[in-house]
Amino acid sequence: MSKSLKIFLAGAFLLSATLGAILLRKESKPTWDGPALLARAEASLDGLPAKEAGELRALLVSSGPHRYDDRADAWLKTSLKADLKPVADYAVANLRAMAEEGDLEAMYFLYFLLSQRLATGDEGFQWLEKSAKSGYPRAVFDVTKQQLKGQPEKLRAAMEVFSTQDNDAGFQALHWFAHGYEKGEDGLPQDTTKATEFRARANALLNKLNQQRQGQK
């Protein structure tokens, strides 16, 4: 091998390695600095009454099965208050961190928060699709409902399947039937008796799910 060819190959290898490093750097995501974000969120609570500040902080640091609802609740209570923006920012960042680690329920709740604003709506629906494709029941329910909008017969058939499930999708489907029979909508006849029956089933399932979540603490 000639000296010039060796120099050329060495240069090509170096260029390839440099480009690879650049691409990896572009694809890498910034590390979620949870403690720093939480510290800023807590600092923003200093001007609030002690009880309100304590309630918000509890929503940010809960670790049980309700942590997703808690982060969403914290965001809903603070997202429109400029002085409490660090609280809302932490709630979203925490859900995003969990979602990026593959937590399907976090993906769904992140979708819920991001879809509340036009600027972040597209990202929100991407998380919904990802959660649904991975089989999270509530996400599958929401995507199915969207896809079958305007197709009452197919939508009702899908709702009948969902209503047999002992999960959040089943709860939502039972409420869908209760509302449909109550109002005479979505291809269902108005029937107050059936509406009451489905609402009772929905409430019973909700109690069952809450008991299961309590047992997971």
Task: Tell me how far apart the alpha carbons of residues 71 and 91 are, in angstroms, rounded to a whole number.
Answer: 5
Per-residue model confidence (pLDDT) at position 213: 83
Reply yes or no on whether the pLDDT at 11 is more than 90.
no
Dihedral Cα 109, 114, 116, 117, nearest 10 deg: 180
Least confident of 31-35, 44-48, 179-183, 198-202: 31-35
Task: Tell me how far apart the alpha carbons of residues 190 and 174 are, in angstroms, rounded to a whole number.
Answer: 15
Per-residue model confidence (pLDDT) at position 217: 63
For CA atoms 177, 167, 61, 126, the dihedral sign is negative
> Helix count (H) and strand count (E) of the chain?
11, 0
Per-residue model confidence (pLDDT) at position 103: 97
Query: Mean pLDDT, to the nearest integer, of 170-186?
Result: 96
pLDDT tens for 22-42 read: 443 444 444 568 899 999 999
pLDDT tens for 94-139 read: 999 999 999 999 999 999 999 999 999 999 999 999 999 999 999 9
Per-residue model confidence (pLDDT) at position 33: 84
Residue 159 contacts residue 177 (beta carbons within 8 Å): yes
Band (pLDDT 50/70/90 cuts) for residue 180 is very high
pLDDT tens for 132-163 read: 999 999 999 999 999 999 999 999 999 999 99
Domains of the chain by residue range: 34-135, 141-215
* pTM exceeds 0.85, yes or no: no
Share above pLDDT 90 across residues of the chain, in percent, rounded to a whole number: 78
First to last CA, the chain: 68
Task: Tell me how far apart the alpha carbons of residues 96 and 112 are, in angstroms, rounded to a whole number.
Answer: 12
Per-residue model confidence (pLDDT) at position 31: 59
Q: Cα 68 vs. chain centroid, distance in angstroms?
A: 8
